[in-house]
Structure 1
Amino acid sequence: MQTIRLFKENVYKKEAEAVITSLSWQEGKFILTLDQTIFFPEGGGQTCDLGTIAGFEVSDVSEHDGDIYHTVIVPKEKESEAKAVLCEGSCVKLVLDWARRFDNMQRHCGEHILTGIFFREWGGINRGFHMGQDYMTIDISLEEGAKAESITWEMCLEAERLANEVVTQDMPIITRHFDSFKEADKQPMRKKLTIKEDITLVGIGSPDYDWGCAACCGTHPSSTAQVGLIKIFKLESNKGMYRIYFEAGRRAFDKYQQQFEILNTLCNTLSAGTDDVLEKFRISREKDKEMRSQLHFLKKEVIAREAASIIAEVEQLSSPHSVCERRYSILTLDDLVTLSREISPAIKKIYFLVHEPTHTVLLVSDGNTDCGRLVKENASIYNGKGGGNKTMARAIFTKEEYVNTFMDLIEKHLR
């Protein structure tokens, strides 16, 4: 006998009693069927209900061949108790996780409303629906007979406004069940039926509104007002269709709050109001761009002068094969890499460029002294790591003293 779906009769039923009709034990969990259930199984893009059976946690609900299977988690210390209570033929209490159920009801109904608006206004057909943890998506296809050639962001904003009008009008959600395809197919609806039997049609406002009617096995509230809010966040092209990211219900409100906090922080940072924050942000970006350009020019000038100074220093050495060093704290490590490229051809032996904040030393040469080999063979002695090529290599250490002892060691090797 197939499981009786109590959620089809009353979507607001939060508790019930049921008889276990079959069960199997796997390590740490029971998988069981019931004569009737309040738990909706995953399907139609909607996640399954959760809750408890006889006080034990329900972790998954799925449907196979007309039966609904409930996975019940049993802690090891309660295995004996569970096996005494969960037996074939025993009567058990079912308790629904109502917060999760109502969240799914708001989201799924919000999808129906938004999809219906795209159909009513532009003839768009929903060819894909995903109810994710962070957002929902619908894939709208503009097919033969559509009233638009493309979907724009402006159309999404209009669809959002119209969808929320449907919410505030508190239209009834009408759920009807049909045994046969022939009977169900006579009803006005926005999408052709693909189910052949045991068909549920969910309509918005009136059975005569084709835009609001579609086959659906999910759970929905009794009126649109219970959806609360619908908000679109993003539009993108996807496989010849238009993917719309959105949320509904409490999640849409939570998203609004989160984004308002971001906007409020941005306004306070820029000393702006919501009416001029974009302009002040644009001005701030322009100033930042100008400062970055000036910084780049100044760094380029500093590196060029530093390179000239080092080359002049090397040329004045009594021995061109002497080992020299310079230490830096203001220039970045990337700046020192750029500097090393400028001076490399002039360095006959080794020149050390030390970046003090990161305890990093760059070895620079014209290639006759293999910098990469020196780092590879000696850095690990002082718990260092790094590498490079013949003309430039870096060694990174955890302490400044390791930098100094490493350079002393290299200098001794090169005498």
Structure 2
Amino acid sequence: METFDELYYTKPYLREFDGKVVSCDAADGGFAIVLDQTAFYPTGGGQPGDRGTLCVGAGDDSLVAHVREAVPGNDAGEVIHLADVALPVGANVHGSLDWTWRRDNMEAHTGEHIVSGIVHALFGYNNVGFHMGERCIEVDFDGVLTPDDVLDVERRANAAIREDVCVEALLPSPTELAAMDYRSKKDHDGQIRVVRIDGVDSCACCGTHVSSTGEVGLIKILRMTTKKKRTRLELLCGRRALVACEEAMDALRETSNFLTVADEEVPEAVRRLSGEKDDLKHQLKQASRKQIDQYVAGLVPDGTLAMCCLPGLDVEDLRYLCERVLEVTGATVCAALSPVDGDATRLAYVIASSGEDLRPACKELNSRLGGRGGGKPQMVQGSWAAARDAAEAAVREVLG
């Protein structure tokens, strides 16, 4: 149970502190260190634990332990610092937080409250789970949002940031709590901590937050997915959102320079290029089919088996080749091969028959030639890890 009088609650902007080592035990390939007080927030409530260093002594004689994560201990208010170096019990220690990490998480957690509060107010949907990862936040709601809904939520969230309203962490009495309207994912025992954002949200929460919405800076919803009447939003807040916008602008600028168009003309230029690409692909496909027709017209099968090998054909072309061979020539089985584009060690294959079930032969050829693939009784396809001569010899032995 949280006591809410820990340094990371009472002084959430504290970057450095002093304490004393209470215990240090081997754990998880490192050491589990407990202090008499700490500003390291322990993993919980969807928020990752803090990182940083614990230092004993000074100068050349100092001993520094790097904390990869702070996690809750067994007792109320106890925090375990998972570190790479053991520290002596009873030693005075100076702790330093990885402030960029902590600040990112404070901005992210506050931003999540803003978004969740707005969604709840507009649509009545509840936040039924969220995860703060290394980069973005995933938030799940128990209802379906449309893309227009999400855009509206994002705009309202950033408007709340511009308003720069107060973010408070309250510890109401049971009587005060009973009179409050607040969100909560589950029932809690003992003291409830409510994070209230003026005019935006009130929610039971044990995380760390910035003191006003303006400190979040920016909220950007990256994507939304819907499944089983639920919606998941992936969002960035604060510095991380700014970095993502900078990266997106860099990518846009690079693309506009490559296309020699203005930034705002990039979408239309890309659509135009995509259309031209589709036209060229169609022309190439027509030329390929013409080449295949010319090849088939001069083909003389070896009995009932026609063996064909042409470079630069994809699986669709190979199927067309087989179909044309069975239509035009007297062959009843056609094996069409082509080197796999980008992998000279493999051959793509399609084998077609006018009546024979090819699946047993396909299985045997795959086994012999290090292949994979399959298909329907009269047409199978895949690839083999074999040279052309070996593949053709095996086909003739199995199907000839």
- Matched residue, 2:152: 158
After superposition, what is the alpha-carbon deviation per residue over 1:278-315, rounded to whole angstroms, capped at 9, x for unaligned? 333333333333333333333233223311210xx34x
Counterpart of 2:325 (choices 334, 340, 343) is: 343
**Cα pair 2:371 2:384 within 8 Å, conserved:** yes
Q: Aligned with 1:257: secondary structure?
A: helix
1:99-138 Cα shifts (integer Å, max 9, x gaps): 1100100100111122222234444432322212342122
Shift in Å, 1:188: 4.3
- Aligned partners of 1:218 and 1:300: how far apart in 2? 64
Query: Following TM superposition, by how much is the alpha carbon of 1:31 offset from its aligned partner in structure 2, in angstroms?
Result: 1.8
Residue correspondence of structure 1 range 394-409 to structure 2 within 5 A: 396-397=385-386, 403=388
Give 3-state SS (helix, strand or coil) of 1:255's partner. Answer: helix
Deviation at residue 6 of structure 1 after TM alignment: 0.6
TM-score by length of 2: 0.76
* Distance change in 2, residues 1:410/1:277 (3 Å): closer
Determine the C-alpha separation between the residues in 1 that align with 2:269 and 2:351: 46
Partner in structure 2 of residue 20 of structure 1: 21
Question: C-alpha offsets along residues 222-253 of structure 1, whole Å, 9 cap, x if unaligned?
Answer: 22221111011223324433322211011111
The residue number in structure 1 matching 2:71 is 62
> What's 1:289 paired with?
278
Q: Decide which structure has the larger Cα Rg and report it.
A: 1
Q: For 1:193 and 1:356, how far apart are their aligned partners in 2? A: 56
State the Cα deviation string for residues 162-199 of structure 1 (Å, max 9, x = none).
21122122222222224x43333333435588323222
Q: Which residue of structure 1 lines up, in the alignment, with residue 100 of structure 2?
A: 99
Query: Would the alpha carbon gap of residues 385 and 197 (structure 1) be closer, same or farther in structure 2, given more than 3 Å must change?
Result: closer
Query: Which of 196, 205, 208 is the equivalent residue of 1:216?
Result: 205
Shift of 1:57: 1.6
Give 1:96 deviation, angstroms: 1.1
- Aligned-partner Cα distance in 2 for 1:236–1:387: 34
Write the deviation string for residues 335-361 of structure 1: whole angstroms up to 9, x where unpaired: 346424543674599989674973649
1:181–1:195 CA contact under 8 A, matched in 2: no
State the SS of the aligned residue for 1:187.
Answer: coil
Note the 1:207-246 alignment, pairs <5 A. Answer: 209=199, 211-246=200-235
Alpha-carbon distance between aligned partners in 2 of 1:115 and 1:392, rounded to the nearest angstrom: 52
Q: After the TM superposition, which residues 180-199 of structure 1 pair with which residues of structure 2 at under 5 Å, given as runs?
A: 180-190=173-183, 194-199=187-192
Question: 1:116 and 1:355, CA in 2 relative to 1: closer, same or farther beyond 3 A?
Answer: closer
| Equivalent pair of 2:69/2:83 in contact (CA under 8 Å) | no
Q: Which ranges in structure 2 are unaligned for 5 or more consecutive residues? A: 56-63
Instruction: Write out per-residue CA displacement over residues 53-79 of structure 1, whole angstroms, 9 at most, x where no aligned residue.
Output: 23212223222341424243336xxxx
What is the match of residue 90 of structure 1? 91
Residue in structure 2 matched with residue 146 of structure 1 by the alignment: none
- Tell me what 2:166 maps to: 172
Deviates more, 1:279-288 or 1:358-367: 358-367
Contact kept in structure 1, 2:224 and 2:234, CA below 8 Å: yes
* CA distance 1:165–1:49, change in 2 (3 Å): same
Aligned counterparts of 1:117 and 1:288: Cα–Cα separation in 2? 43
Rounded to whole Å, the distance in 2 between the matches of 1:73 and 1:102 is 21
Structure 1 244/321 Cα, relative in aligned 2: closer, same or farther at 3 Å? closer
- How far apart, CA to CA, are the structure 2 residues paired with 1:22 and 1:109? 33
Return the letter of the residue paired with 1:34.
L
User: In 1, distance between residues paired with 2:121 and 2:373?
Assistant: 64
Q: 1:92 to 1:292 in 2, by over 3 A?
A: same
Q: 1:132 is matched with which residue?
A: 133
1:322–1:176 distance in 2 versus 1, CA, 3 Å: closer
The amino acid that maps onto 1:246 is: L
Offset at 1:375? 6.2
1:78 equivalent in structure 2: none
Tell me the distance in 2 between the aligned counterparts of 1:373 and 1:123: 56
State the partner residue of 1:145: none
What is the deviation of 1:406?
8.0
- Matches of 2:334 and 2:125 in 1, distance apart? 70
How many residues align structurally? 378
Residue 34 of structure 1 corresponds to which residue in structure 2? Answer: 35
Give the Cα separation in 2 of the matches to 1:349 and 1:119.
Answer: 64
User: What secondary structure does 2:45 align onto?
Assistant: coil
| Partner SS, residue 260 of structure 1 | helix
Is residue 200–residue 215 contact of structure 1 (8 Å, CA) maintained in 2? yes
Q: Which residue of 1 aligns with 2:10?
A: 9
For structure 1, list consecutive stretches of 5 or more residues without a partner in the other structure.
Answer: 76-81, 143-149, 315-319
Aligned ranges 1:66-85 → 2 under 5 Å: 66-74=76-84, 82=86, 85=87
Q: 1:355/1:141 Cα in 2 relative to 1: closer, same or farther (>3 Å)? A: closer
Q: Is the 8 A contact 2:337 2:348 kept in 1?
A: yes
Describe the SS at the equivalent of 2:191: strand
